[in-house]
Amino acid sequence: MIRLLIFIALVFVVAVGSAWIADKPGIITLDWQGYQIETGVMTAAVALIGLLALGIIVWNVALFILRTPDHVGSFFRRRRKDRGYDAMSKGLLALGVGDAAGAGRYGAEAAKLLSGEPATQLLLAQSAQLDGRHEEARSRFEAMLDDPALRPVGLHGLYIEAERLNEPVAARHYAEEAAKLMPGLDWAGRAVLGYQAVSGDWADAIKTLEKNYAFKRVDKKTFRRHKAVLLTAQAQELEDRDPDAARQKANEAHGLAPALVPAAILAARLATRRGDIRKAMKIVETTWKLTPHPELADAYAHARNGDSAQDRLKRVKALAALRAHNAEGALALARAAIEANDWDLARAQMKAALRLEPTQRAFLMMADLEERQHGDRGRVREWLARAVRAPADPAWVADGVVSETWSPVSPVDGRLDAFVWTTPPATLDHHDDPLEALDDALMEALPAAPAHLEAAPLERKPDPSEPLAPSPVPQPAASAPATDAAPAKDPAAPDTAKAETAKTEPVQTGLAKDDAPKADAAKTDAAKPAAQDAGASASGTADAKASGPETGATSSAKPSAPDASPKPAAKPEAKADAKAGDTRKDDLSRPIEFPLKHMPDDPGPDDEPEDARQKKPGFRFFN
């Protein structure tokens, strides 16, 4: 707009001047060498302007003629440069699609046409890398180190080559050089931090992390988390040598990342060693609210040395109340209750844990509970069998590596803060539901849910034609000798006692025929009477209900003397028993079956006498 106004002003001035000259007529006389020229003022002005324009044109033509060689050379140089850039563009495209041969060919052409262009050297080096000519690529990157403009590019290329050859010392050297040369370089800062963390240079790693944060290469949340991880690792290293410095760093790490479980455990342990129990408990409580962990519960329970089991139970109750409806809290409280011999509380918490997260640790704790309270080896084996098939417990996992202890870096790629507390990947595809194995007989061992939350169980009405099964009465360890003799049986008649027993005993499909003598011997040893406490009595009642009237008739029969007469029809009766078991596969009232592949200690079906079985009160899981 300004230029237009200036142009209009100039035209206005010229027009005004021309009008002024036209209004002032006059004659200009030129007398030179005997010639006298007379003309008007306006004509003389126009002639002067024409001479000036002609002079300018002649001058420009002369300059063009004089500069023609330079123009011709410049034309060819420009044309060569355009061809070089076109070749470089094609080489980069070929490099992008993975055409190493084409990239090398276009790179050589571009280097020939564009002498001194830095990008052509990078194109040739990367094409050599892509084509597998690593020696040539390395030599080209090393040649770039002499050029200040290409030095960062050469360091990055040499770093990649050192990583490929698994040379961490050389790779760290190139990364540190690049970080010094360009402090804001992202790959160099991350690489230096990773190598310092892997080598255990925690102090230098913290400084590098702070530099990365200053150059905005990491956000604030990541910076706080990674610094807490590095401080925790440094505190673990100083724990034995300098406990005071370790405690300060652990407390700082806990303040930066309260959800970091290793930092909280270490800070609580160091506070406990110093005698600051309240500080240790506060640290554990803060982290427990965010991420419940079994080690946190253990540190909280043993915060004060010399406490009794009841004191630990009271303390764990307070911790579990901070995060309700959590499997870790239920397991921790169950463990403390087991140690304090509070069996009712332990069973209630174990039932809650099995409902929330039925993992191997929960089933093993249930086996421990059965062993300590009742000493029932059958129940213990049963819970152990379920633990084998249960999903694995959470562990520290990083890049597919499962570790029992936490580590600040990944053992695979050296990534910082790679370990997470989760289920190992090998068990993520576990399709078996352990809760399906919690049948009625086992759940009877756990406390029942409130009446308003759990429907009343369905009970089978007894058949009037069958004898009623009285409740089992606890008997002393040494039972009285049998007084009622067994009725005489016709050898030709089928063994009805065995037929009835076949309905009550599980079918063992994994026992070979050749193992019959061993099974008979095991069953003879198992026929010895045993003492029965109140828990076993309740279990026997539940078993009698689960097995139905058939088992009740067998359990309620009076002990009789063993029948010493030979049984020639043993094999046909065994087949009949097997058929009877097959027909009752879908009957929910039959006892629980344990396949041999899951329970190798189970001796299998026995052919012991009826009277010997009747001496055993309650439901028999194992011999």
Of how many residues is the chain composed? 623
The SS3 of residue 35 is strand
| DSSP track, 362-382 | HHHHHHHHHHHHT--HHHHHH
Q: Rounded to an integer, what distance in angstroms lies between the CA atom of residue 72 and that of residue 36?
A: 49
For the chain (length 623 residues), average pLDDT per consecutive 10? 89 84 78 80 82 92 88 88 92 91 91 87 91 91 90 93 90 92 89 92 94 91 96 94 94 95 95 92 95 93 88 93 90 93 93 92 93 90 92 91 92 90 69 43 44 38 42 40 39 40 38 40 40 38 38 36 40 42 43 38 41 40 31
Query: What's the pLDDT score for residue 551?
Result: 35
- The confidence score (pLDDT) of residue 599 equals 35
| CB neighbours of residue 75 within 10 Å | 10
- Which DSSP string corresponds to 560-592? B----S--TTHHHHHHHHHHHHHHTTT-TTSPP
**CA distance linking residue 304 with residue 314, whole number of Å:** 13
Q: What is the DSSP letter of 444?
A: T
Burial status of residue 284 (CB atoms within 10 A of its CB: 0-12, 13-18, 19 or more)? buried
**CA–CA separation, 339 and 334 (whole Å):** 9
Among 418, 422, 353, which Cα is nearest to 394's?
Answer: 422
DSSP of 327-341, one letter per residue? HHHHHHHHHHHHHTT
DSSP code of residue 441:
H
Position 535 scores a pLDDT of 39
**DSSP secondary structure string for all residues of 486-552:** PPP--TTS--HHHHHHHHHSPP-SS--GGGHHHHHHHHHHHTS-----HHHHHHHHHHHHHHHHHHH
- What is the DSSP pairing of strand 27-32 with strand 35-40? antiparallel
Give bridge partners of residue 589 from the DSSP assignment: none
DSSP reduced 3-state for 215: coil
Q: What angle do CA 306, 311, 317 make, to 5 degrees?
A: 135
Residue 427 has a pLDDT of: 53
- DSSP, residue by residue, 256-324: H-TT-HHHHHHHHHHHHHHT-HHHHHHHHHHHHHHS--HHHHHHHHTSSTT--HHHHHHHHHHHHHTS-
State the DSSP H helix or E strand holding residue 157, giving kind and residue range, or none if neither.
helix 151-164
Q: Hey, where are the domains in the chain?
A: 533-558+606-623
Based on the number of CB atoms within 10 Å of its own CB, is 30 exposed (0-12), middle (13-18) or buried (19 or more)?
A: exposed
Of 206, 266, 278, 258, the residue nearest 240 (C-alpha) = 266
What are the percentages of helix, strand and coil residues in the chain, rounded to 5? 60, 5, 35
Two structure tokens written together for 568 = 């020639």
Nearest to 350 by CA among 359, 60, 57: 359
- How far CA 345 is from CA of 225, 310, 447, 505, in Å, comes to 38, 12, 9, 33
The pLDDT value recorded for residue 278 is: 93
Q: How many CA atoms lie within 13 A of 593 on its CB side?
A: 21
Which H or E element spans position 315?
Answer: helix 309-321
- Both structure tokens of 437: 């194995």
Q: What pLDDT does residue 553 have?
A: 33
Nearest to 106 by CA among 98, 95, 115, 96: 95
Between CA 567 and CA 573 the distance in angstroms is 10
Q: Residue 547 CB: number of other CB atoms within 10 A?
A: 23
Q: How many CA atoms lie within 13 A of 459 on its CB side?
A: 9
Determine the 3-state secondary structure of 27 from DSSP: strand
pTM: 0.59
What's the angle, vertex CA 228, arms to CA 224 and CA 231, rounded to 5?
Answer: 140
